[in-house]
Structure 1
Amino acid sequence: MNTVQKNKKLTIDPGIFWSSLIAILAASIPLALYPEAGKAAVDGLLSSFTGTFGWLYLLTGIGSFFFMVWLAYGPLGRIKMGAPDEQPEFKTVPWISMLFCAGIGISICNWAFVEPLYLLSGPPLGIEGGTTEAAEWAAMYPMFHWGVVPWALYLMPALPMAYVLYVRKVNVLRLSEACRGILGKAVDGPIGKLIDVIVIFSIVGGVGTSLGLSVPLVSALFQEMFGLADSFGLQMGILTAWTAMIAWSVYNGLNKGIQTLSNINAALGFLLLFFVLIVGPTIFLLNLWTNSVGLFLDNFFRINFWTDPVAKGGFPESWTIFYWAWWIAYAPMMGLFVARISRGRTIKNIIVHGVVWGTLGCWAFFAIWGGYAIDLQLSGAVDLQAILSSDGIPATVVAILKTLPVAWLVIPLFTLLCFVFLATTVDSSAYMLASICTKELTGYEEPARWNRILWTLMLALVGIGLLSVGGLKAVQTSTILVALPMIPVLIIMSASLVRWAYRDFGAELSPYAIARCQVQGKNVVVQQYDDGKKVILDNGKE
């Protein structure tokens, strides 16, 4: 019996596995072999997609936020992902740590320092660059780009997938299965396979973006620490070391590998945050963050819907639309990962904890690290904007770190943080990619180790392709391209969740039924499935 179960776990779905593998190789190898032609192609696609579909990305973002609010505080918020008496698989703090580290990763180490500097010289809404007003908006806008809307987008696929795993008890970990409530048996055919291939391509593209942006940063840190010269070989060496760490993590699975790295990562990240807050201009940072919160609340609707249709200055396309596409591209991986680690939690619990703590975590990084960079620029201590303009993001981050006390210790710790941050994102992604390609896998099982390692290597290959092309536009385009087909998939999954919930729990979701159950002191759940069968659970017993 055990042998049969183990063999079943090792079995891949060839239709999904080989289709995805061929598509990824077809996209990555030409980028690595023909970088100049690849760069020209992606530059043209970037302007085309952002100009044509920018409005769609923005509406998807704000729509997901209001959908999450409705789910959390509406009747569906009480539904538990699992049996009525089932306890959460992970305690709240480790759960939040895994969720945050998987969703944000090393990207925040890149952008927390430099995004406010970019916005200081090129602020939104026609504001003049370099002014006092520009500084306030430069401190606030990253809170928008890394706040409640991105975390709502992350949870869009997470909740339908968790429902499929732990309420409907389906033995596959694929987003196509979460579309069955709308698509029905079409999920079993080519449409379902296409959805899963789109999901895999989206995950690989989103993670590849992080790799393409992050390896140059760590390369610059190594150059500073060891006096090395910048080279493609150095970047490949760093990518190899990263791949080895990630492979170890996914090999050891959720509890021993991914959870361990996430806990280390969270502790180290907030240690460095606290250090900068104490040694930096503490009062200025607190005042600037408080001001940013007010500016964000005052302009929430304006910035969420701003497309700049008349002036066409390019700010929404270069920033907000790129970010929203990035979050959408990451959403499938996060959806599968959050679903897998959220057994025993209610819909409301997942949404409130995910959105609130994810947002506050991001805000802390931008309030402290971003505020510190703004202070260095405004005070004239270091001309960071000149460094950013001439030498790029990695050199700017190094220049900021060198201004801190005991920089000789801070820079190695920051480098370690970058390594672990990206590892927690990529190992989660490799784990989910392996799960999608496995024929049968419950929410209580893990995919085969060789499958996890293979996808770690594939993600590294995509990173090499993007590094060969070089430039921010290349990674922006890869993200925007893979995110676009995910939008209808997110909508179908959300509709499936609502349809299933009202079909399975319809009577229990009415205010009268809820009050009656509370008065009687019983926990009764009636689940009705597509085949007409009903399962009645009383205090967790069938």
Structure 2
Amino acid sequence: MHKIRKIPTILPFGVLFLGIIANLVDEEGTQAVILNMNNWVIDEFGWLLSISSVLFVLTCVVAYFSAIGHVRIGGEGAKPLLSKFNWFSITLCTTVAVGLLFWSTAEPIYHLYGPPESLGIEANSDAARRFSFSTLYLHWSFTPYAIYCIPALTFALAFYNLKKEKSIGGFLSPLFGRFTQGIWGQLIDAIALFALITGMASGLGQGLLTLAGGLNKFVGIGNSPVVLAAIAALIVATVVVSAVSGLLKGIRILSDLNLKFFIGLLVFVLVFGPTGYSASAGVDGFGDYTSNFFNKSFFTGELGHDDWPKWWTNFYWAQWLTWAPVTALFLGHISRGYTVREFILTVMVFPSLFSILWMTLFGGMSMYFDEVSGGAVKQTLDENGVESIIYYIFEQLPLSGIITFVFIIISFVSFVTAADSSTEAIASVCIEVGKDEKEYENMESTSKTSFWLKIMIVSSIGFVSWSMTSFAGINGVKILANLGMLPSLLIVLGAMFTLWSLMAKYTRESRPATRNLMLVPDDTDGQAVNLPAYESLGDGITQPIMAYDR
């Protein structure tokens, strides 16, 4: 049994439960304090979010075309842990897939009727529809996946190629050295875990409402605390079963099943939905997105005293960032055996294209039915909440009962898959293992410590989600999750700078005299070593090229 790392394990859950208790005792006062803290973070650092979001996308593009793009994660002889299809399905289903289900039909209606005032766009106009589509693509394609891709790729190279420890401090250590080790490294892990745990609680809380709304369509059970508790218990139990079966079997099976459901639902909407309208409007919106990518990314609303970016774009970037540092450990872990270019394609490009297709069909369908019904979708949103829109949309399609049932299954599996992968990542940070620990080489194994730790983690998060959703309101956890944005942003920025340093060093090594060099770790302490390579200076004179300085 492995040793539990006390600081990353106790500190995040302790702070979370103290916050929950305070919220239950004085909901109004606690949420007011948290909201003020949240507003301060967004007001003071929103500009940094905007700049960073663009830098993350550009860094992925540069990394793909740089010399490091040919590097194989784990070394030239490393064999893949997963097939490319399984790798893609796990990546898609453990990142923003849950959000696709929840927001694909609701968000375009929000933007259609509430565009930014400072841009002078008239609500429910053609310009508002174009803005709505292009904003969907901004929020749900390349930028969010770049936020995941940067730390995940940095971790994969640090863990597999440089033999750093499996922690957040580990993938920052190639650039920051000892400042990310010891007690400081554990504090970094604890902060990142707190951000992820609150993000998971928020996401699961929204999931409970979505599933309860769908079940209410069939059996009229409502969304009482008892109903929400039963749904939460079912999700926790399914995650436990997946944990028992091992990582490759559990999450791989769930993700494979989930992706097939996604594809099936896409095909159905493609055949029976207003595809012509969605495709035409999508092309128009995508043109606006690509031609105004920098303008939309850098839009802070400050000059026009417009809070729209704070409640939408910055909110999304904050949400993805809270998940990214810890999720990176999981995504990087399953990437062994593939090149950096294959990693960027699978973790960033392909999921983004899938998301664009999904948002085009479902977002277009939502705006189409709202237009032809004279605003019925907007009325449903106002009267019954965001989780009701997708079910109203399905009622406009043939076989609505079957499709609604399938959607409920997809939603359930999506929440379980996301919770399972995140629980795996959290558990890996809480357990202290050696750099060469074979358990992380063999993903089929699950130690007793890891198993019971996963049960504790997922049960705690399930309880928090249920209690907040049932008694204190989900807004408290949603705002609480945003507080983890700032440290998470600094961690992902640190990962980006580390990746740039690795690209620069590998580019120097890729000159003709050294293009066969590999990242070779020192067998004694895991630190990089000087590699014995030489370059010609002319007249028969050579000098050594130092690939990595100790």
TM over 0.5: same fold? yes
Deviation at 1:149, TM superposition (A): 1.0
Give the Cα separation in 1 of the matches to 2:396 and 2:374. 9
Q: Which amino acid aligns with 1:69?
A: V
Structure 1 residues 49-60: aligned runs within 5 Å = 49-60=41-52
Contact 1:57 1:324 in 2 (8 A): yes
Report the secondary structure of 1:510's partner residue. Answer: coil
- 1:74-132 per-residue CA deviation (whole Å, 9 max, x = no partner) reads 12222221121223211111100000100013221110010001111012333111112
| Identity fraction in percent | 24
Name the residue aligned to 1:521: none
Contact 2:212 2:222 in 1 (8 A): no
Name the residue aligned to 1:540: none
Q: Which amino acid aligns with 1:444?
A: E
Name the residue aligned to 2:11: 19
Instruction: Choose the corresponding residue for 2:139, options 134, 145, 157.
Output: 145
- 1:321-358 per-residue CA deviation (whole Å, 9 max, x = no partner) reads 00000111111232111111000112221112221111
Instruction: Choose the corresponding residue for 2:122, options 119, 128, 132.
Output: 128
Deviation at 1:146, TM superposition (A): 0.6
Contact 1:39 1:469 in 2 (8 A): no
Give the Cα separation in 2 of the matches to 1:244 and 1:472. 22
Report the secondary structure of 2:95's partner residue. Answer: helix
Give the Cα separation in 1 of the matches to 2:83 and 2:503. 26
Give the Cα separation in 2 of the matches to 1:536 and 1:246. 49
Report the secondary structure of 1:106's partner residue. Answer: helix
User: Unmatched 5+ residue regions in structure 1?
Assistant: 1-6, 518-523, 538-542
Query: Which one is further off, 18-27 or 491-500?
Result: 491-500
Instruction: Choose the corresponding residue for 1:165, options 114, 139, 159.
Output: 159
- 1:339-383 per-residue CA deviation (whole Å, 9 max, x = no partner) reads 110001122211122211111121122111111110000111761
Report the secondary structure of 1:484's partner residue. Answer: helix
Query: Which one is further off, 269-278 or 21-30?
Result: 21-30
Deviation at 1:221, TM superposition (A): 0.8
Give the Cα separation in 2 of the matches to 1:223 and 1:237. 14
Report the secondary structure of 1:362's partner residue. Answer: helix
Give the Cα separation in 2 of the matches to 1:44 and 1:389. 26
Instruction: Choose the corresponding residue for 1:449, options 448, 451, 457.
Output: 451
Contact 1:508 1:526 in 2 (8 A): no
Report the secondary structure of 1:485's partner residue. Answer: helix
Instruction: Choose the corresponding residue for 2:415, options 418, 422, 435.
Output: 422
- 1:392-451 per-residue CA deviation (whole Å, 9 max, x = no partner) reads 112222222222211111111110100001111110010011000111064314552111
Instruction: Choose the corresponding residue for 1:367, options 327, 346, 360.
Output: 360
Instruction: Choose the corresponding residue for 2:97, options 105, 113, 128.
Output: 105
Instruction: Choose the corresponding residue for 2:197, options 199, 204, 207.
Output: 204
Name the residue aligned to 2:80: 88
Give the Cα separation in 2 of the matches to 1:507 and 1:109. 45
Report the secondary structure of 1:103's partner residue. Answer: coil
Instruction: Choose the corresponding residue for 1:437, options 416, 425, 430.
Output: 430
Instruction: Choose the corresponding residue for 2:58, options 46, 60, 66.
Output: 66
Name the residue aligned to 1:394: 387
Deviation at 1:526, TM superposition (A): 5.5
Contact 1:202 1:486 in 2 (8 A): yes
- 1:233-272 per-residue CA deviation (whole Å, 9 max, x = no partner) reads 2112111111111221223222110010000000001111
Deviation at 1:176, TM superposition (A): 1.0
Contact 2:68 2:507 in 1 (8 A): no
1:535 to 1:258, Cα distance in 2 relative to 1, 3 A: farther
1:532 to 1:444, Cα distance in 2 relative to 1, 3 A: closer
Deviation at 1:478, TM superposition (A): 2.2
Name the residue aligned to 1:224: 217
Give the Cα separation in 1 of the matches to 2:10 and 2:32. 29
Q: Which amino acid aligns with 1:366?
A: M
User: Unmatched 5+ residue regions in structure 2?
Assistant: 534-550
Contact 2:199 2:478 in 1 (8 A): no
1:526 to 1:452, Cα distance in 2 relative to 1, 3 A: closer
Name the residue aligned to 1:376: 369
Name the residue aligned to 2:494: 492
Give the Cα separation in 1 of the matches to 2:528 and 2:311. 50
Deviation at 1:300, TM superposition (A): 0.7
Report the secondary structure of 2:431's partner residue. Answer: coil
Give the Cα separation in 1 of the matches to 2:477 and 2:314. 14
Query: Which one is further off, 284-293 or 263-272?
Result: 284-293
TM-score under structure 1 normalisation? 0.90
Name the residue aligned to 2:460: 458
Give the Cα separation in 1 of the matches to 2:393 and 2:171. 45
Give the Cα separation in 1 of the matches to 2:37 and 2:373. 39
Report the secondary structure of 1:82's partner residue. Answer: coil
Give the Cα separation in 1 of the matches to 2:477 and 2:127. 30
Give the Cα separation in 1 of the matches to 2:532 and 2:386. 57
1:185 to 1:62, Cα distance in 2 relative to 1, 3 A: same
Contact 1:281 1:372 in 2 (8 A): yes
1:239 to 1:481, Cα distance in 2 relative to 1, 3 A: same
Equivalenced residues, count: 519
Report the secondary structure of 1:88's partner residue. Answer: coil
Give the Cα separation in 2 of the matches to 1:532 and 1:209. 40
Deviation at 1:476, TM superposition (A): 3.9
Name the residue aligned to 1:250: 243
Give the Cα separation in 2 of the matches to 1:526 and 1:99. 26
Give the Cα separation in 2 of the matches to 1:485 and 1:110. 26
Contact 1:213 1:472 in 2 (8 A): yes
Contact 2:133 2:286 in 1 (8 A): no
2:485 paired with 1:483: yes
Instruction: Choose the corresponding residue for 1:331, options 299, 302, 324.
Output: 324
1:133 to 1:74, Cα distance in 2 relative to 1, 3 A: same
Give the Cα separation in 2 of the matches to 1:245 and 1:33. 32
TM-score under structure 2 normalisation? 0.89
1:526 to 1:377, Cα distance in 2 relative to 1, 3 A: closer
Report the secondary structure of 2:520's partner residue. Answer: strand
- 1:274-312 per-residue CA deviation (whole Å, 9 max, x = no partner) reads 111211112112112211211111111100101112222
Give the Cα separation in 1 of the matches to 2:212 and 2:527. 56
Name the residue aligned to 1:4: none
Query: Which one is further off, 249-258 or 366-375?
Result: 249-258
1:502 to 1:54, Cα distance in 2 relative to 1, 3 A: closer
Deviation at 1:24, TM superposition (A): 2.6
1:127 to 1:83, Cα distance in 2 relative to 1, 3 A: same
Name the residue aligned to 1:508: 509
